[in-house]
Chain A
Amino acid sequence: MTIEFKDVIIQTICRLLTPPIQLYALYVIAHGHYSPGGGFQGGCILGASFILMVIAYDIGEVKRRMAEKMNTIFCSLGVIIYSGIGAICLILGANYLDYGILHKILPVNPVRARALGTLGIEIGVGIAVMAVMISIFLNIASGGEHEGALE
């Protein structure tokens, strides 16, 4: 299965479609606490945009934009943002992930601090889910070799 697969229609459509998908994913993450959506769904859509790039081009194109080391760093960074915000709440004297106490270090009232804490959690979850989805897909599609997937 090493057929040279380059189709100008698929590549052009993918190139045109990837930025709106990523913009929509960022909207879903940032607007997650007002409407349906949130970190998990937005992270899945962000990962799907990279998977679309693997399908249209090849695995090298994605690894040039999002290297394996960078992906691992993002994967850990999301978990650190999530648990860090929770631990800050714990240090300030409230329960784990009790965002209302964040008004002691942020210049806002407790209600606003709660909304901002939720936004921070959503961003952390979104980053972690995106990195894990890309990592799972690259490992499955290339059989752990990390080159020449779906060709």
Chain B
Amino acid sequence: MIWQLDIIILIIVVISAIAAITVKDLLSSAILLEAYSFLMCLLWTEMGAVDVAFTEAAVGAGISTAFFIGAIYQTTRRTKD
């Protein structure tokens, strides 16, 4: 466990999380959420929780992004608010 690497990954996680909820394009938001999920997976791997990281990589970065993209195809791509 290297705390410098932790700090760097945490900063990128916060940046991508804030970007995912502020961007207007919903497809970009889904991809940014996938980036957030993958970075959380990297953080958990680095902290030693390999099983949690595996679940995050399979569900968060893999399946849920496909669900979001499938749902965005049924609606409009830009948010109104």
Contact = CB atoms under 8 A, between A and B. Distances in A.
Interface of A: 1, 36-38, 40-41, 44-45, 47-48, 51, 55, 133, 136-137, 140-141, 143, 149-150
B55 A140 contact: no
Given A1-B73, A48-B62, A143-B74, A137 B67 contact: yes
Interface residues of B, number: 16
A64 B51 CA distance: 34
Contacts of B71: 140-141
Contacts, number: 49
Given A1-B73, A45-B62, A150-B69, 20 more contacts: A36-B51, A36-B53, A37-B51, A40-B55, A40-B59, A41-B59, A44-B58, A48-B58, A48-B66, A55-B66, A137-B63, A137-B70, A140-B71, A140-B74, A141-B70, A141-B73, A141-B74, A149-B70, A149-B73, A150-B70
